[in-house]
């Protein structure tokens, strides 16, 4: 909650529920090291989460039908309500495109996921079909959203926190990563190396011939620069996606990817029983 008061628009009652359970605590700082803080394009610390959830039943029948049938609804905004500055506030740089400022973009996730960090409720309710729109998460999504990337641990490419012998990290804690796939890939390596550590084995590093290995090393290098602190790293778009394409790492061909993993001798590596 303190982070959102200091670096955001105040507590907006998000899923983290700090008022009930207490603010976020950094395990790495507690263990004695100093965390890295991400920045926004204007140099402010942290970044706003880039989306919220509307109660689908609070939207017009027509929008609900669009979401149920097509999974997406794009509703143009009047020019006076377009705020391109908001694109620079958000975590998800892959969606920091003009179209997301010029329209209300809704995705069907069971709820109606609204692809903007926050949107004043009284303005939202001026949009046709959204007259009764209600935020489900964050409850006060009309005023703000959660602030993230304020306690990234410095780490090596084995996912071990620098300066602490027995602490490993993954996901958003381990870099300015955004996304579930990024959390899974970094977290799997951290877990694997955690088990190796307990067995007294040398940790494993993923090679740069694999997109996962490249992402882990590249994001680490970039964290050492001011510009790198303002960037988010994801397979889903923005800077890292361009790099994947340039390096021929981007592919949706499962066979090709399986072949790559085989060539670096890592097929089934996580199936290996260590403990």
Q: Which residues bind ligand FAD (CB under 6 A)?
A: 24-25, 27, 49, 51, 171-173, 178-180, 183
Q: How far apart are CB 169 and ligand FAD at their closest, in Å?
A: 9
- Measured from the CB atom, the residue of 22 and 120 that comes closer to ligand FAD is 22
- Measured from the CB atom, the residue of 218 and 235 that comes closer to ligand FAD is 235
- Measured from the CB atom, the residue of 46 and 179 that comes closer to ligand FAD is 179
Give the largest CA-CA distance in the chain: 62
Q: How far apart are CB 265 and ligand FAD at their closest, in Å?
A: 28
- Measured from the CB atom, the residue of 6 and 267 that comes closer to ligand FAD is 6
Beta bridge partners of 161: 155
CA atoms within 13 A on the CB side of 108: 12
- Measured from the CB atom, the residue of 66 and 190 that comes closer to ligand FAD is 190
Report the residue number whose CB is nearest to ligand FAD: 171
Contact 117, 140 (CB under 8 A): no
Beta strand pairing call for 112-114 and 52-54: antiparallel
**Is 143 buried (19+), middle (13-18) or exposed (0-12) by CB count in 10 A?**
middle
Q: Cα–Cα distance between 39 and 227 in angstroms, integer?
A: 9
| Residue 160 backbone dihedrals phi, psi, to 5 degrees | -90, 135
Q: How far apart are CB 52 and ligand FAD at their closest, in Å?
A: 6
Q: How far apart are CB 231 and ligand FAD at their closest, in Å?
A: 15
Q: How far apart are CB 50 and ligand FAD at their closest, in Å?
A: 7
Q: Cα–Cα distance between 136 and 157 in angstroms, integer?
A: 38
């Amino acid at each position: 909650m303190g982070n959102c008061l200091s670096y955001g628009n105040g507590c907006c009652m998000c899923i983290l529920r700090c008022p009930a359970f207490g603010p976020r605590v950094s395990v790495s700082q507690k263990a004695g090291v100093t965390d890295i803080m991400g920045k926004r394009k204007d140099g402010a610390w942290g970044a706003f989460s880039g989306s919220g959830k509307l109660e689908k039943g609070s939207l017009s029948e027509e929008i609900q039908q669009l979401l149920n049938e097509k999974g997406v609804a794009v509703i143009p905004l009047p020019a006076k309500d377009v705020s391109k500055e908001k694109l620079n506030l958000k975590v998800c740089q892959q969606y920091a495109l003009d179209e997301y400022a010029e329209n209300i973009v809704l995705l069907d996730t069971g709820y109606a996921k609204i692809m903007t960090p926050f949107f004043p409720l009284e303005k939202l309710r001026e949009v046709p079909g959204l007259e009764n729109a209600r935020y489900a998460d964050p409850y006060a999504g009309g005023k703000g959203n959660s602030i993230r990337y304020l306690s990234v641990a410095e780490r090596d490419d084995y996912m071990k926190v620098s300066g602490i012998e027995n602490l490993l990290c993954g996901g958003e804690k381990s870099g300015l990563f955004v996304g579930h796939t990024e959390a899974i890939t970094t977290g799997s390596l951290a877990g694997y190396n955690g088990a190796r550590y307990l067995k007294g084995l040398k940790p494993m590093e993923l090679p740069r011939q694999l997109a996962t290995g490249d992402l882990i090393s590249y994001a680490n290098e970039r964290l050492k620069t001011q510009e790198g602190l303002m960037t988010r790293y994801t397979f889903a778009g923005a800077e890292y996606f361009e790099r994947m394409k340039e390096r021929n790492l981007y592919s949706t061909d499962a066979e090709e990817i399986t072949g790559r993993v085989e060539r670096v001798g890592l097929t089934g590596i996580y199936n290996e029983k260590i403990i």
